[in-house]
């Protein structure tokens, strides 16, 4: 990460609130684990949640065409009669407050919606995933469908550090079909209870189960994502209509790649 990268602004902001927490209605904790500025920044710079925040900013700005490209590169297009590689769909990112309009329980890392698909991304760096988490994404997609009244494709992309999909799971599931089958057999009484207390609608769990059955789960590690970033950066710059557009594209993509590189996630 270089000082000129847009991602550095995130850490500048964190540093400001470290020195002046009163703006958040807080005071410094004298017994805190991190008791100086550099320790705090080192901690934040390696948190999964801070990378998630930067992905949210990146995907807020990047053209919808890039989301289509990511979908095409990581999703088996032939498996879907609705989504084809030659079709460019208009995806809209649903931020935290957008998602709260239809779900209080499930807060995804990233959710993109269109007229034909719900496309979620679950990011992992150190922690393992769980079958309940996969089920919760099916619930999220059901809640979005219930909110919009439109039946859609359900797509879930996991992003992880290692090359193997199995690295996401303590159970070492080797492929997405194993995950879906195991999730379908999961006892979800606790999830149902939490949803009944949290969500504003009565959930049709048979329909949620149907969404889980037809969800396409795919996987992309961070080095592969970085490769996609580089290719699309070059393509979008070559298609840019002015030097200013080229510069903006370069700043956006280079900043995201630089952050992933600083974290050691850009190479296998």
257 found inside a domain:
no
Q: Percent of the chain at pLDDT above 90?
A: 76
240 found inside a domain:
no
Identify the band that residue 79 occupies on the pLDDT scale cut at 50, 70 and 90: very low
Whether the per-residue pLDDT at 78 is higher than 60: the answer is no
For the ranges 12-16, 140-144, 194-198, 234-238, the lowest mean pLDDT is seen at 12-16
pLDDT tens-digit readout, 127-164: 999 999 999 999 999 999 999 999 999 999 999 999 99
Residues 33 and 57 grouped into a single domain: no
Q: What is the mean pLDDT of residues 212-228?
A: 96
Strands (E), the chain: 92-93, 110-113, 117-123, 153-160, 216-221
Domain count, the chain: 2
Q: pTM for the full model?
A: 0.91
Q: Which domain holds residue 20?
A: 1-45
Whether the per-residue pLDDT at 89 is higher than 70: the answer is yes
Residues 119 and 166 grouped into a single domain: yes
Look at residues 187, 206, 222 and tell me which one is the last residue of a structural domain.
222
């Amino acid at each position: 990460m270089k000082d000129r990268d847009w991602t550095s602004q995130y850490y500048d902001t964190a540093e400001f609130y470290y020195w002046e927490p009163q703006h958040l209605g807080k005071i410094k904790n004298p017994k805190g684990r991190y008791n100086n500025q550099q320790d705090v920044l080192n901690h934040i710079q390696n948190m999964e949640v801070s990378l998630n925040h930067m992905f949210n900013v990146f995907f807020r700005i990047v053209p919808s065409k890039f989301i289509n490209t990511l979908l095409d590169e990581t999703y088996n297009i032939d498996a879907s009669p609705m989504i084809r590689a030659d079709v460019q769909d208009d995806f809209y990112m649903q931020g935290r407050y957008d998602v709260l309009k239809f779900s209080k329980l499930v807060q995804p890392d990233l959710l993109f919606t269109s007229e034909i698909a719900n496309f979620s991304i679950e990011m992992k760096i150190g922690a393992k995933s769980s079958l309940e988490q996969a089920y919760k994404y099916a619930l999220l997609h059901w809640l979005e469908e219930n909110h919009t009244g439109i039946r859609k494709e359900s797509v879930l992309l996991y992003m992880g550090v290692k090359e193997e999909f199995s690295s996401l799971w303590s159970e070492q599931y080797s492929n997405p079909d194993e995950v879906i089958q195991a999730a379908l057999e999961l006892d979800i009484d606790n999830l149902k209870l939490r949803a009944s207390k949290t969500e504003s609608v009565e959930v049709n769990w048979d329909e949620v189960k149907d969404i889980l059955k037809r969800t396409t789960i795919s996987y992309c590690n961070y080095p592969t994502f970085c490769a996609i970033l580089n290719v699309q950066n070059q393509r979008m710059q070559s298609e840019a209509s002015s030097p200013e557009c080229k510069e903006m594209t370069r700043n956006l993509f280079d900043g995201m790649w630089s952050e992933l590189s600083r974290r050691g996630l850009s190479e296998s």
